[in-house]
Amino acid sequence: MTAVRSTRNVVGLMTRYRNASELGAIKEAADILKNGGLVAFPTETVYGLGANALDGQALGKIFEAKGRPSDNPLIVHIADMSMLEDIAADISDSAQRLIQKFWPGPLTLIFSKAQGISDIVSGGLSTIAVRMPDNNVALELIRAANIPIAAPSANTSGKPSPTSAAHVEADLNGKIDMVLEGENSSVGLESTILDLSTPVPTLLRPGVITLEMLEEVLGTVAIGYDSLIKNDEAPKAPGMKYKHYAPNAKLTIIKAKRDVRAAQFIRKQLEVDNCKYAVMASAEHLSFYQDDKCYLLSSENLFSILRQLDYDGIEHAFVHAVEESGVGSAIMNRLKKAANNDIVDLDEVLFVCTGNTCRSPMAQAIWQRYNTGCNAISRGVAARQGDTISENALKTLREMNLELPDFISTPLSKKDIERASIVLCMSAAHKNVVMQIAETAYRGKIYTLAEYAENTAHEDIPDPYGGNLDVYKNCAASLDKWIAKIVEKRNATKI
């Protein structure tokens, strides 16, 4: 018989660790829940941190242990349909169809709340999120306690969700009463969340039950995630506004139409620092990399890799973007949050001048003539937000049959530099400024136009500001000359 392990932290709370298969372990966990305590337990998605959903005081402890903001509501876990009827109102026909098809399983449904359900569990909302997990330990625990169990993911708020008991221990040891140890979570991503309290069912969090699978049952499903949430606006799933899944390591997502381009870019970055940089690559991309800097990525192990990066002292990790359909939507949703939206788009070039009113917007428009399949944007190192393209620049473009509809001048930001595949500056002086703004890792992609086109060329594009139309036309001609060369070079090297 295995000895029961328990550890005490400075706060003084003893966390007991029991394997779910040990005799009496599930009953012990159920008793703790019934008595208002906290138990972490396995589910098929991620480990949950459970408390009695009907006990306000117990629920309060969840928020405290996780450091979770109190307006972020919890998902209630149930083991049978009678529990659903106790906590949710308005269980529609379409809800019944979804339940038939996907429960038990990784789908959370949001209903209007039944009367008498605590505001603490729903973060003050009039709705309640419910799911029936597809995991025997979880189901046995809920049945043994015979109460609905509120359970967020059992991680410290802001950290990657835990997919093993060891992850829970790393975050919550000494802060909760018990960890019921089971298998590693097989799905590895949190449940899909679908709001059924809205006129059109709304997908609030993508997961392995995909949009396409829901549409097959429901017809139309609206998308309510990844939207930009302004500070004063309540997000549909309150959890969406908080920082999530962030490893200590910086994470950058590399987007490119062609995989080989993304791999070339990442390999170049890895050379910057062998020990502290790494790549997360799925099986199809693995052959691009050497083993020692590469973590094999799948939807099942995404969260455990994010934790592993920190254990291994990685400072900067790169990951290929995946296509945002099917389960890919869920993976990208988690990756974007973990990366704090740090995305490099290798199909985007960035032109930089001073005010973003003459040279760089003209360059942006001229680039589009070449149909490279690669988008161009422009910024100014001293641009004033709200200015627009100068009259002579616009006239010059029109004579070339080019347009820049709705153009607004925008000051250059660090994010712009990070995101672009290359940064093309009008002059050496601009390049200097951009180099100072950029972090070291991104300096290798900053050039003047002439330098990028010909390696050794030193030629600035003179500022036409204040000049007559001819001055602008000359400027456009010189931009066109360099851009033609750049396009040719990129085609030749296929980057």
127 binds ligand TXA (CB under 6 A): yes
Q: From CA 36, how far away is CA 55, in angstroms rounded?
A: 7
Near ligand TXA by CB under 6 A: residue from 104, 239, 355, 361: 239
Near ligand TXA by CB under 6 A: residue from 17, 37, 43, 354: 43
Give the nearer residue to ligand TXA in terms of CB position, either 80 or 284. 80
Give the nearer residue to ligand TXA in terms of CB position, either 335 or 365. 335
Of 53, 73, 95, 97, which is closest to residue 194 (Cα–Cα)?
A: 95
Of 307, 280, 294, 279, which is closest to residue 47 (Cα–Cα)?
A: 307
Give the nearer residue to ligand TXA in terms of CB position, either 16 or 337. 337
75 binds ligand TXA (CB under 6 A): yes
Near ligand TXA by CB under 6 A: residue from 140, 171, 190, 348: 190
Other Cβ atoms within 10 Å of 67 Cβ, number: 13
Which residues fall within 8 angstroms of residue 394, CB to CB, at 6 or more apart? Answer: 404
User: Checking DSSP bridges between strand 14-19 and strand 5-8, what pairing results, if any?
Assistant: antiparallel
Q: Is residue 476 classed as helix, strand or coil in its secondary structure?
A: helix
329 binds Mg ion (CB under 5 A): no
Give the nearer residue to ligand TXA in terms of CB position, either 131 or 359. 131
User: Checking DSSP bridges between strand 316-320 and strand 294-296, what pairing results, if any?
Assistant: unpaired
Give the nearer residue to ligand TXA in terms of CB position, either 337 or 430. 337
Contact region with ligand TXA (CB under 6 A), list: 128-136, 141-149, 277-285, 351-359: 128-136
Q: Is the previous residue joined to 42 through a cis bond, with omega within 30 degrees of 0?
A: no
Q: What are phi and psi of 129, to 5 degrees?
A: -95, 130
Rg (CA), the chain: 27
Count interface residues toward ligand TXA (CB under 6 A).
Answer: 28
Near ligand TXA by CB under 6 A: residue from 32, 51, 78, 151: 151
* Residue showing the smallest CB distance to ligand TXA in the complex: 239
Contact region with Mg ion (CB under 5 A), list: 66-74, 152-160, 276-284, 390-398: 152-160
Query: Angle between the 391-399 and 359-368 helix axes, to the nearest 10 degrees?
Result: 20
Contact region with ligand TXA (CB under 6 A), list: 29-37, 96-104, 119-127, 327-335: 119-127
Nearest approach, Cβ of residue 380 and ligand TXA (Å): 38
DSSP designation for 411 = B
Nearest approach, Cβ of residue 239 and ligand TXA (Å): 2
410 binds Mg ion (CB under 5 A): no
Nearest approach, Cβ of residue 195 and ligand TXA (Å): 6
122 binds ligand TXA (CB under 6 A): yes
The string of DSSP codes covering 243-266 is --S--SSEEEEEE-SSHHHHHHHH
Contact region with Mg ion (CB under 5 A), list: 146-154, 422-430, 441-449, 478-486: 146-154
Give the nearer residue to Mg ion in terms of CB position, either 152 or 464. 152
45 binds ligand TXA (CB under 6 A): yes
Structure tokens, 280: 């997360």
Q: From CA 31, how far away is CA 123, in angstroms rounded?
A: 26
Near ligand TXA by CB under 6 A: residue from 128, 253, 256, 363: 128
Count of residues for the chain? 495
CA quadruple 327, 329, 335, 340: dihedral, nearest 10: -160
Q: For the chain, how far is it from start to end, CA to CA, in angstroms?
A: 61
Q: From CA 205, how far away is CA 107, in angstroms rounded?
A: 10
Report the b/e string of 70-96 with b at 16+ CB within 10 A: eebbbbbbbbeeebbebbbeebeebbe
Residues 437-476 interacting with ligand TXA (rule: CB under 6 A)? none
Residue 140 interacts with which of ligand TXA, Mg ion, none, CB < 5 to 8 Å by class: none
Q: For Cα atoms 165, 251, 249, give the angle at the middle one, nearest 5 degrees.
A: 60
Near Mg ion by CB under 5 A: residue from 153, 185, 191, 392: 153
Near ligand TXA by CB under 6 A: residue from 25, 38, 39, 46: 46
Give the nearer residue to ligand TXA in terms of CB position, either 131 or 316. 131
Count interface residues toward Mg ion (CB under 5 A).
Answer: 1
Residue 125 interacts with which of ligand TXA, Mg ion, none, CB < 5 to 8 Å by class: ligand TXA
Ramachandran assignment for 341, one of left (phi > 0), alpha (psi -120 to 50 degrees), beta (any other): left
Give the nearer residue to ligand TXA in terms of CB position, either 152 or 464. 152
DSSP designation for 67 = T
Residue 237 interacts with which of ligand TXA, Mg ion, none, CB < 5 to 8 Å by class: ligand TXA
Contact 17, 176 (CB under 8 A): no
Contact 186, 95 (CB under 8 A): no
Query: Any bridge partners for residue 277, and if so which?
Result: 316
Residue 160 interacts with which of ligand TXA, Mg ion, none, CB < 5 to 8 Å by class: none
Give the nearer residue to ligand TXA in terms of CB position, either 46 or 305. 46
Residue 201 interacts with which of ligand TXA, Mg ion, none, CB < 5 to 8 Å by class: none
Nearest approach, Cβ of residue 264 and ligand TXA (Å): 36
Q: What are phi and psi of 37, to 5 degrees?
A: -95, 180
- Residues within the interface to Mg ion (CB under 5 A): 153
Give the interface with ligand TXA as residue ranges (CB under 6 A): 43, 45-46, 48, 72-75, 106, 108, 110, 122, 125, 127-129, 131, 151-153, 190-191, 193, 204, 237-240
